[in-house]
Each structure stands twice: as C-alpha cells, then as structure tokens.
C-alpha cells in the first residue's frame, strides 16, 4: 500500500525533464504534501532547506512527470482471474505510470454511472496509480444503441469508446460523434473493419501463408479510418484512432490532419518495436489486436512518431490468464501486458537516435494528457507531485515471469534487452514504488 505524503520533500541533484516546456537540465524539485512547490536549477542554494525537510538525492538520475497511459484494460470488475485493479496499479507504478485510462470492456460494461464510480472508488482505495475511465459509446458495447454519454461525462468519463470492438455501423458512429461533441469529449475508435478482420489471427501476408494461419489485411485499418474521417468532416467532432499499426492507416490520418480535422491517434510499443516475425514460431505471447504487421508497416509507424503524426504512445496493456494464452495460436486470446515496459521500450526511440529524450517522453506524458484534457504529464508549480525518477541508460532484460502484473505474465517483449530503469514513482507526493536506488535523509 502507498505511504502517506510526509511534509516537505526535496529532490536534489536531479536531471529535470519536462517535455511540456522543454526543460532539460540539472536542478531540484520541492514538494510539500501532494503538490509541487517549486523546481529548477539552483533551487536550494544558497538559502538551504527548512528544518524537517526530507531529502531525496537523485544522484544525477532523470526526474520527470509521471507517465500517462491512455489505453489499458483493467479487467476488474468481472475478469479478476485475468488481472485485478491492484495488480494493474502495481505493474503501472513499477513502470513509472502515475495516471492511466481504462477501457470500458469490464463486466458489467462501463456504460452506467455506477460502474464509472466503482472504478474511481477502487483506485482511491488502493492509493496507487490514478485511474480514469472511458465510458462505453454504445450500451453493452453492442454497437447498436448509444450509451448515456451525458450522464457518464458528469460521472467522470474522459471519452467514449467501444474498447476492443470497432463501432462498425456508420449511422451509429455518426450519432456517437455528434452526441460526444455536445460534451466536448472524444470518440476513441478501434479502427478495424470487422468483416475483413473476421476469423483472422495475425497479419495477412507471406508469414501467415507459411504458418497456415488466417490473416487480417492492413486495409482493414485504413478502410474503417477513411469512413470515420468522412464522418468527422461531416460532424466536426473530435476523433481519436487507437493503436495505429499500418502505413495505409497513417497515410489516411495524415490527409485528415492536413485538412485540419480534429483527429488524433496513438500507437503502442509493440507496433514500432516488433513485426510479424515475432509470431513465426506460433508464439501466442505475440498475438495481439491489431496484429503485429510487416516490417514496412513497423518502419512507417516509427516514421509517424518521428514526424509528429502520431500523438501519443500507449501501453495497450491487455492482460490474459495462462489458460487463454497457452493454446494453439488460432485459439489463443489476443493481448499482453505492457505497463511495466512502456517507458523502457519508448526509450528505444531515444537510444536508437530517432528522437531526443524529451521528444520520446512527450509521447508518454504531456502528449496523451493533452489529448484527453487530464491534469497530468507536466511539472507545474502548485500541480500534483506525480513524478518518476529513472535512469535512461540502465540495461535490463524483460522477464515476463517476474513482471509487476500479479496474474498475467504474458509479454510480447519476454527476454528482450531494454534500457531505462524506474527508480522511484511518486503520486501526490507519496512514494508508491522505490527501487532503493536513491539515497534519502532528513535535515
């Protein structure tokens, strides 16, 4: 359980990083209770610190806003055998995630006020990562009748989506876009044309043919996107495309953005760091939705990140129980854990020279927070002391069996070498995770 905030805490000898303002330099940060009092270079000199202030010596490590993950599956209520709220929160804080937004595909579905409030209560009770919820766009995620978006918005829903299911009916999507616009909120779509994807278990192409598996064509993504973006043009509503995985899909979104339409998109680390070859030995850990694509698509996603076409990186955390994964590939469930590896795999963009450290961090902090209007992802005087302390260069190997998730250990990155280790995660001034790598004392 999280410890209560303990008065004033001074983080000294840090490399301060704030992608929202471009801050990158040596300095310190002072937190008092739940809030940031001040931060910057030479903050504690020459005046010193008030008596009783706790000191955290960061030893030159990076101190940044806590990560913001706007796409993950919570599993509770209803699917606790896959994951619990507490297990997800523990994995999140080990990965430096201080705020996350869950999909509505729980049981019962988050399509009424009571379920939105349940998620909020559970998060407060556990006292770890802050959890926000998407409301269902349609009742029961059935894609037929719109949910009560107005009531859900008042209860705290930060957007509307049918989660892992696309809103397939064009008229329903048009109505959803118009309805959400009245509350200034966003429709989040899983862009996959369902009739083209039906029965598919991996990316359509040479690898699928060789393995004898039914494929999902890349155009399943771009076709549904093209339809939706015409409806956005018609309604003027805000639209967000989730986990983009193909070059075709990115080109469709680029044209929409060039027109000035209110559209945005995200991708997950799977789609810029892995390709379809990860399933060559029928590895069900790498069975995802959307599926891992060909190398050309992976490179297109990487380019989309570098060019700023993709607005955020999400974990796409979708925990599955062992029985659902250890099956023949065509029968296994899609999805894998991703919270604990979100920072390290995102930092590959920096280590491989594709973008600066600040640019990479922006995609998992201020970028996603801005999309949904969350008060998170930035260092701000008077703002919440939600922080992550990490070393960007520390190497480690992802071992799924010792991941932070309590029940699901199925990571597509199992045995992958990465760089970037979280040392400490702070939420509202409380240290909720510590790798015991930072020296601490009181004055």
Does residue 71 contact residue 300 with C-beta atoms inside 8 Å? no
Contact 401, 22 (CB under 8 A): no
For residues 83 and 36, the answer to whether their CB atoms sit within 8 Å is: no
C-beta separation of 220 from 193 below 8 A: yes
Three-state DSSP state, 122: helix
- SS3 call for 86: helix
User: Would you give the end-to-end CA distance of the chain in angstroms?
Assistant: 26
Measured CA distances, 184 to 73, 155, 310, 430, 442 (Å):
24, 15, 21, 33, 46
DSSP code at position 359: H
- Give the span between the Cα atoms of 11 and 14, in whole angstroms: 7
Specify which residues 131 forms β-bridges with: 100
8: region left, alpha or beta (phi > 0 left; psi from -120 to 50 alpha) = beta
3-state secondary structure of 437: coil
Long-range contacts of 281-286 (CB under 8 A, 24+ apart): 282/211, 282/328, 282/329, 284/325, 284/326, 284/327, 284/329, 284/332, 284/410, 285/325, 285/336, 285/400, 285/410, 285/411, 285/412, 285/414, 286/336, 286/412
Active site residues: 316
Q: What is the length of the chain?
A: 443
Buried b (16+ CB within 10 A) or exposed e, 358-380: bbbbbbbbbbbbbbbebebbbbb
C-alpha to C-alpha distance for 408 and 294, rounded to whole angstroms: 27
Pairing of strands 417-427, 67-72: unpaired
């Amino acid at each position: 359980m999280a410890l209560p905030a303990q008065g004033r805490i001074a983080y000294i000898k840090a490399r301060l990083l704030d992608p929202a303002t471009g801050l990158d330099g040596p300095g310190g940060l002072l937190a008092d209770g739940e809030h940031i009092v001040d931060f910057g270079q030479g903050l504690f000199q020459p005046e010193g610190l008030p008596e009783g202030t706790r000191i955290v010596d960061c030893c030159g490590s990076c101190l940044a806003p806590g990560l913001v993950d706007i796409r993950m599956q919570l599993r509770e209520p209803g699917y606790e055998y896959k994951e619990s709220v507490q297990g997800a929160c523990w994995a999140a804080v080990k990965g430096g995630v201080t705020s996350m937004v869950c999909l509505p595909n729980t049981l019962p579905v988050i399509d009424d006020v009571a379920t939105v409030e349940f998620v909020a209560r559970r998060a407060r009770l556990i006292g770890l990562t802050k959890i926000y919820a998407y409301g269902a766009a349609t009742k029961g995620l059935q894609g037929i009748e719109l949910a009560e978006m107005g009531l859900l918005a008042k209860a705290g829903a930060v957007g509307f989506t049918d989660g892992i299911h696309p809103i397939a009916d064009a008229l329903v999507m048009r109505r959803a876009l118009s309805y959400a616009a009245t509350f200034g909120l966003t429709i989040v779509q899983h862009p996959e044309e369902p009739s083209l994807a039906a029965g598919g278990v991996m990316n359509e192409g040479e690898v699928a043919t060789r393995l004898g598996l039914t494929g999902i064509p890349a155009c399943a993504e771009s076709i549904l996107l093209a339809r939706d973006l015409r409806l956005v043009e018609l309604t003027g509503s805000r639209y967000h495309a989730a986990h983009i995985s193909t070059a075709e899909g990115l080109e469709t979104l680029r044209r929409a953005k060039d027109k000035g339409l209110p559209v945005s998109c995200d991708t997950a680390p799977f789609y810029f760091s892995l390709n379809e070859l990860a399933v060559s030995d029928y590895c069900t850990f790498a069975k995802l939705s959307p599926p891992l694509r060909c190398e050309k698509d992976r490179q297109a996603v990487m380019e989309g990140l570098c060019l700023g076409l993709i607005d955020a990186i999400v974990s796409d955390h979708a925990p599955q129980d062992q029985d659902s994964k250890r099956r023949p590939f065509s029968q296994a469930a899609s999805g894998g854990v991703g919270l604990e590896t979100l920072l390290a795999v995102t930092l590959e963009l920096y280590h491989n020279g594709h973008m600066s450290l600040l640019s990479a961090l922006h995609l998992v902090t201020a970028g996603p927070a801005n999309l949904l209007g969350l008060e998170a992802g930035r260092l701000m005087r008077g703002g919440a002391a939600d922080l992550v302390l990490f070393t960007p260069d520390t190497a480690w190997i992802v071992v799924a069996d010792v991941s932070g998730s309590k029940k699901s250990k199925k990571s597509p990155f199992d045995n992958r070498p990465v760089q970037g280790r979280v040392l400490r995660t702070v939420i509202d001034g409380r240290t909720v995770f510590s790798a015991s790598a930072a020296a601490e004392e009181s004055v």
